[in-house]
Structure 1
Amino acid sequence: MSVWAEIKDGDRRLTRRVASWRSTCARRALPAVEEAAQHTKLWWGAAVLMATAGGWRGRRAAAAGVFSMAVAEAVSNGVVKQLCERRRPPQEWISHEKVHDRPDSSSFPSGHTAAAVGFTAAVAGVWPLAGALCAVPAVMVAGERVHTGAHYPSDVAAGALIGLSAAALSRRAPRLAARAALS
């Protein structure tokens, strides 16, 4: 079996398994987290909270998180989605009635996951405790994207990789800017 065929088979199996979660907690919490994550409201709220209540460390963490989130969103939604056309998972794979209206845009990659992971990983690099707290809703966002049929697991994995790359860039950006200013 080719690598692409294995990924497609894994996507099908994982999507069906995640979409079949019957947990009352999942059925209540995941939609609430997804709503909060729409248009990155959750991450902006976390940034404001850190910046106002976290002192210098909170301001640095918030700035790193917002920068990383912006880069992740620009790369995932502004570049990769435009280059890679992929349909959303078939509705028959989703075993519950609550399949949200899904966008017409490409399924690949998950922009929600890219933003969540980018923000969280950048925050964790500056303030590990705040990053650990942000990781809980970030993981929930990623799971929700598969649970509702908005994305394949591989879309979520690609979004996470984009987010991690954006966070790595956010750690290097201040040093690169300082070097450029000294040149």
Structure 2
Amino acid sequence: MPLYDLDAAVTRSINGHAGVNAAIDFLMIWVSAIGVPLLVVAVAGQWWRGSDRSHNRHVLVATGLSFLLGLAINQIILLFVHRIRPYDGGITHLLIDRSTDRSFPSDHATATFAIATAFLLHGMRRLGLWFLAAAVLVAISRVYIGTHYVSDVLGGAMTGIVGAILVRSLYREGTRVDRLITSML
């Protein structure tokens, strides 16, 4: 079975549950719509938390940079990949309004996986695992509501993870720039 056929089949199987249960549809639409903003607020709320504020603030800045870098990587990919949405290809039943941009990669998956990965890479395991669970739920919701193929959210997850890894390797804790940024507010 070619990869596209597998991708379409798995996407169809997840989206095939859409429209069956109004409560689950509502939940998935809600998760898809406010998942990223809720995670951003949850991250921002950590700014004043914890006994080791300088480390926490470093992680939060690194998380924001990971988020932005992941989305920037997506914009570069979109210059070369022009994948149509699965609902335009007759693969899925769409539960929300149509999107005007391309399908691959998923910005929602990128953003949420960048957040989770940044926390995990910086040793904040407990929060990182909560953010990872939320990222998986957001990614599934994007397929469930019919706006993405499974490979779109996997690709988005990868760009978020790559963004977090690059930031982890380039933005070092305790540097002059880090101390300046983390001492603000």
Shorter-chain-normalised TM-score: which range? 0.7 to 0.9
Identity %: 27
Q: Are 1:64 and 1:119, in contact at CA under 8 Å, matched by a contact in 2?
A: no
Distance 1:23 1:66, change over 3 A: farther
Question: Is it true that 1:81 corresponds to 2:74 in the alignment?
Answer: no
How many angstroms does 1:29 deviate by? 2.7
Look up the match of 2:139.
Answer: 142
Q: Are 2:29 and 2:96, in contact at CA under 8 Å, matched by a contact in 1?
A: no
Superposition pairs for residues 91-170 of structure 1, below 5 Å?
92-95=90-93, 99-126=95-122, 127-170=124-167
Where structure 1 has 5 or more consecutive residues not aligned to the other structure, the ranges are 179-183
Q: Are 2:29 and 2:95, in contact at CA under 8 Å, matched by a contact in 1?
A: no
In structure 1, the residue corresponding to 2:47 is in which secondary structure?
Answer: helix
Residues in 2 aligned to 1:176 and 1:58: alpha-carbon distance in whole angstroms:
10
Structure 2 length as normaliser, TM-score?
0.81
Residues in 2 aligned to 1:154 and 1:11: alpha-carbon distance in whole angstroms:
6
Where structure 2 has 5 or more consecutive residues not aligned to the other structure, the ranges are 176-185
Residues in 2 aligned to 1:64 and 1:175: alpha-carbon distance in whole angstroms:
9
Over residues 88-115 of structure 1, what are the superposed CA-to-partner deviations in whole Å (9 max), with x where a residue is unaligned?
00364335xx521121211111111111
Residues in 1 aligned to 2:98 and 2:83: alpha-carbon distance in whole angstroms:
13
User: Which of 20, 37, 46 in structure 1 is aligned with 2:42?
Assistant: 46
Q: Are 2:15 and 2:145, in contact at CA under 8 Å, matched by a contact in 1?
A: yes
Residues in 1 aligned to 2:98 and 2:50: alpha-carbon distance in whole angstroms:
37
User: Which of 27, 32, 35 in structure 2 is aligned with 1:34?
Assistant: 32
In structure 2, the residue corresponding to 1:99 is in which secondary structure?
Answer: coil
Residues in 1 aligned to 2:59 and 2:22: alpha-carbon distance in whole angstroms:
34
Distance 1:23 1:138, change over 3 A: farther
Q: From the two aligned structures, give the one with the greater helix fraction.
A: 1
Distance 1:29 1:90, change over 3 A: closer
Structure 1 length as normaliser, TM-score?
0.82
Q: Are 1:51 and 1:62, in contact at CA under 8 Å, matched by a contact in 2?
A: yes
